[in-house]
Structure 1
Amino acid sequence: MRQFTAIVNPTAGGSAAAAALLRVARPLREAGADLRTRYSRSLAHARELARQAAQEGRVVLAVGGDGMAGGVGGALSGTGALLGLVPAGRGNDFARALELPRAPDALARVLLDNEPRSVDTIEVESARHARTVVLGSVYAGVDALANRHANNASLLRGSASYYAGGLRAVTTWRAARYRVTVDGREHLHIGYTVVAANSGYYGSGRRIAPAARIDDGLLEIVMIRDAPRRLFFTLMNELRTGAHVHRPEVEILRGREIRISADREVPYGADGEVEARLPVTVRVLPGALRVLA
């Protein structure tokens, strides 16, 4: 019987994280599992709590959104520890990539019975930001600005906050000149964003990289070129299905190491949390994390 330590982000969706844990805790405990709960004061504190639980040989449950999943998963990357997710945030995109069920009883069965799966993680390095490891994606451009607006939209939840944040970001965005180096080969790009995707999803279910796989040892690099704002809004809508990849304004590359820089200060983000400025280098860490999926 697995022993669990839940790391809870008490700010994810207000009280949503605590409520989500309560719903899955009942079937876990009824099955005889030992479950402890730790509340984090910050993402750095959550990483510390996760490492402590892993050293005790316990399954670490990240309870919250993509920031919590990425922070805890990044802390466990390369350690051999086992991660489970209890989705309770605004986006929950890595949980989508793992195809986790929403029903608490079904999620509990996954956590209790399923065999671990090895997935890739992403190492992020920047001269302006401490090295970190995340799970889903690193994005540099208008989407990073949109995510910042979404995180500050206290009255909106889920995809609505991301859409509103996107509208606000696009109205003030001017095309950046990027230099994108993929496995040593340089590409010049003028446009809205560059996304290095491990997971196919970001922005609360938007399929930014439909062909991305979390266990293939590669990152999908999605670059959206400069286009009229009206067309970009159409592209935003097409992200729901992944149809945007067929547009001539969208270029997709694959690689293991990507460096992104720009001709001006451009923000980048990762897993909905990391906020910094280019340049940044990202590398895939193949099979570095064991998860329950």
Structure 2
Amino acid sequence: MSSEITLFVNPTAGRGRGAGAAQPAASALRAAGFSVRSVIGEDAPDALARARAAVREGTGALVAVGGDGLVNLALQAVAGTGTPLGVVAVGTGNDFARSLGLPIREPAVAGALVAHALKQERIREIDLGRIGDHWFGTVLASGFDSRVNDRGNRMRLPLGRFKYDLAIGLELAAFKPTRFRLTLDDGAVREIDATLVAVGNGTSYGGGMRICADAAMDDGLFDVTVVGDCSRATLLRVFPRVYKGTHLTHPVVSVYRAARVELAADAITGYADGEPVGALPLVAECVSGAVRVLTG
């Protein structure tokens, strides 16, 4: 393994935390005897091209310093290559790190963990979801939650989490279920009216909302959480339970497990790792052992 480690940095993550996080992470790696170089792209395509170049050139690890959006970009560079992925989670949501029990908003601690994992070869192979040629690590969201994302992305103000809190309120005011066509593995097509369908490789999205609370990242299967057709009042009762994962026991919620999930619905965008991946229909496949993660 090369002793040169690449820090893949999003300087704007977490409203500027990414820029400040790179230095303590790099210091921890250098203190452990590694040489460190940083990759900062001019935009997402440029950043990905630079990350892929570092992987091709044989970097010892690609360490994502940022939030889930940057981790998702890093996955496009390392999935299937054997190059280990480290995570210094300093974004707003950090759900990839949450799903793996990695430090959150502690860049020096996370950097030291990455260094220790490299020294001790503590590497965990985990599954990833794949939609076409696009990889994701946590959850593919569709329905009410993706409509909230759509609305939030259109809003310029307020900033940060407040924007999405407002988007949730506005979507609740216009709430109605969606007719989905859901196919699990090679089974029959299920036509269902549902509030949302979440396809989880990891447990959470939205900064700790444990929508697929029992998902395991190394079992070769997605957990598919379906919140069925319900009233606005029921949704308001169920929604707060998602932070502890206790919503899964509510009668309106169903959970399935499958390695391949096909989702179809009209006028719904799919979001994977919080990033838009396109309008439904989409097919997601769980790929076992697709990435090697430094876990300490």
User: CA offsets, 1:240-288, max 9 Å, x none?
Assistant: 10010011111110000000002x2112111111242110000011001
Other-structure match for 2:283? 281
1:241 to 223, 244, 251: 244
Query: Per-residue deviation at 1:143?
Result: 0.6
Question: Which residue of structure 1 lines up, in the alignment, with residue 201 of structure 2?
Answer: 198
Aligned to 1:49: 50
Partner Cα separation in structure 2 for residue 142 and residue 10 of structure 1 = 30
Deviation of 1:74 (Å):
2.8
Give the whole-Å Cα distance in 1 for the aligned partners of 2:88 and 2:108. Answer: 12
SS at match of 1:14: helix
TM-score if structure 1 supplies the norm length? Answer: 0.91
How far is the alpha carbon of 1:109 from its aligned partner? 2.4
Task: Report the alpha carbon displacement of residue 173 of structure 1 after superposing the two structures with TM.
Answer: 3.1
CA drift of 1:71 comes to: 1.7
**Is the Cα–Cα contact under 8 Å of residues 54 and 82 in structure 1 kept in the other structure?**
no
Separation in 2, partners of 1:189, 1:211: 23
> 1:14–1:73: structure 2 CA closer, same or farther, 3 Å change rule?
same
1:179 to 160, 178, 181: 181
Aligned residue among 50, 59, 62 for 1:60: 62
Is 2:136 aligned against 1:138? Answer: no
Instruction: Note the residue ranges of structure 2 that are not aligned, 5 or more in a row.
Output: none
Letter in 2 for 1:118: E
Aligned position for 1:164: 166
Which runs of 5 or more structure 1 residues have no equivalent in the other structure?
Answer: 126-130
TM-fit CA distance, 1:161: 4.6
Shift of 1:171: 2.1
* 1:97-150 deviation line (CA, Å, top 9, x unaligned): 12112433331222012211101111113xxxxx31111111111111212344
Alignment RMSD, CA only? Answer: 1.8
TM-score where L is the length of structure 2: 0.90
Q: Does 1:214 align with 2:221?
A: no
**Equivalent pairs, count:** 286
Q: Aligned partners of 2:149, 2:249: CA distance in 1, in Å?
A: 24
Q: Which residue of 2 aligns with 1:128?
A: none
Question: Once the 2 structures are TM-superposed, how far is the Cα of residue 6 of structure 1 from its aligned partner?
Answer: 1.2
8 Å contact from structure 1 (residues 75, 133) kept in 2: no
1:228 to 228, 231, 239: 231
CA spacing shift, 1:154–1:65, aligned 2, 3 Å: farther
**Aligned twin of 1:11:** 12
Q: Residue 264 of structure 2 corresponds to which residue in structure 1?
A: 261
Counterpart selection for 2:71 from 69, 73, 81: 69
